[in-house]
Amino acid sequence: MKCKQKLYKQETATHIILIEMRLWYLLLLPLTFWLQVVASEESSTGSHFESINKSNHTNNWAVLVSTSRFWFNYRHMANVLSFYRTVKRLGIPDSQIILMLSDDVACNARNAFPGTVFNNMDQALDLYGNSIEVDYRGYDVTVENFVRLLTDRWGPEQPRSKRLLTDENSNIFIYLTGHGGNEFLKFQDAEEIGAHDIADAFAQMHEKKRYNEIFFMIDTCQANTMYEHIYSPNILCIGSSKLDESSYSHHSDMDIGVAVIDRFTYFALDFLERINRDSKETMDKLFEILNFENVHSHAGIRTDLFKRDVSEVLLTDFFGNVQNVAVDTTPKDILNTTKRLTRDSASLHALKKLRPRGQVEFGFEDGDSTINFHLSKASSTVLGLGLTGLLLGLWKYAS
């Protein structure tokens, strides 16, 4: 009788152990799936997030156009030359800047300071100087040439220095200033370009893979109407004034006798003068400056075509040409260094620095401590499969 009771207790204990093993199996099984999900998805999620918030461009271009002429439009030439100076200071070379202007101000007979153009009444900065390269001047500043420039529809006779040689990895800053109205901008007081013309030109650029992203800025009366018909992707737009609203000049120089800069351009440049090539300032900070109190008109911003959040867009993505260089700190004699580190267990931590660049890692980090646990994609997959096999073996043993 005692033997039967003892045997019964043993069978009961064994049964309880088997039940516990099955419960552990059910608890650990989700962990194996989670490890494999981390291995397969986290890298793609991270790279997708990074691609959304970064421009991923490889080169920058600027198209700067003053569409007016005559002495009393002095400020329009000062506007465009001011942006020309800014983008050059931030790193875009002359070879990647297309400058279009009438060029009839510096040497105008009414200019009290021949050969100069200023954008401030203190006359501290000569924008004309000796280092500007005008690509299209005088009667070459036409609607036809502007559209051909954007779409690259030229004959073989057109020199490369006057072409916009962009590709699908190019970020382009396009700035227009002059006199305009509801859905039109005047060129040289002789012709007009319409909002639909610009929209169609951008569409051709997209079809021909001529840009990665475009920042379109226009300073003219009723400027916001010029971007309303754009329908191509990855274009960020800003204008100086809404429909039926004028765009105003900032101040005049009594010695020169005319207004020397527009308000919208003045405050944009005043902000950009504070940044350098390595600046992390974002586009939304610039937009905050261009408010009604400063500009005296309602600047408009269009972001629905642009895939990135403007709070994540660096100003240097369009105004600069910063080339980020990753310095390789890997030892020159990497083979022998690796062998020594392998033999020296005390230097095992240094060996991690010699892993191939680009290897995907997944892991857990305690932000308040120095504890780090990382798994490569292959390691996490092997660990997940190993746990799955172990659990299946336990299940078979338990059954």
CATH number at residue 231: 3.40.50.1460
SS3 of 237, please? strand
β partners of residue 60: 171
Residue 122 lies in a domain: yes
DSSP state, residue 372: E
Residue 19 lies in a domain: no
Residue 382 lies in a domain: no
What pLDDT is recorded for position 394?
Answer: 63
Residue 9 lies in a domain: no
Q: How many domains does the chain have?
A: 1
Residue 54 lies in a domain: no
SS3 of 142, please? coil
Give catalytic residues, as residue numbers.
Answer: 179, 221
Distance CA 386, CA 393 (A): 11
Residue 94: CB atoms within 10 A of its CB come to 14
SS3 of 66, please? strand
Ranges of the chain with pLDDT below 50 = 42-51, 325-327, 334-335, 338, 345-348, 350-374
Provide the token pair at 377.
């994609």
pTM metric for this prediction = 0.71
Proportion of the chain in helix, strand, coil states, percent, rounded to 5: 45, 20, 40
Residue 330 lies in a domain: no
CA atoms within 13 A on the CB side of 35: 19
50 burial level (CB within 10 Å; 0-12, 13-18, 19+): exposed
pLDDT, tens digit (0-9, with 9 covering 90-100), for 336-364: 554 555 555 444 454 444 444 444 343 43
Q: CA 124, 129, 132, 136: dihedral to nearest 10 degrees?
A: 100
Nearest to 76 by CA among 187, 190, 165: 187
> Counting every residue, how long is the chain?
399
pLDDT, tens digit (0-9, with 9 covering 90-100), for 217-259: 999 999 999 999 999 999 999 999 999 999 999 999 999 999 9
Residue 391 lies in a domain: no
What pLDDT is recorded for position 350?
Answer: 44
What pLDDT is recorded for position 129?
Answer: 82
Residue 276 is part of which domain span?
59-319
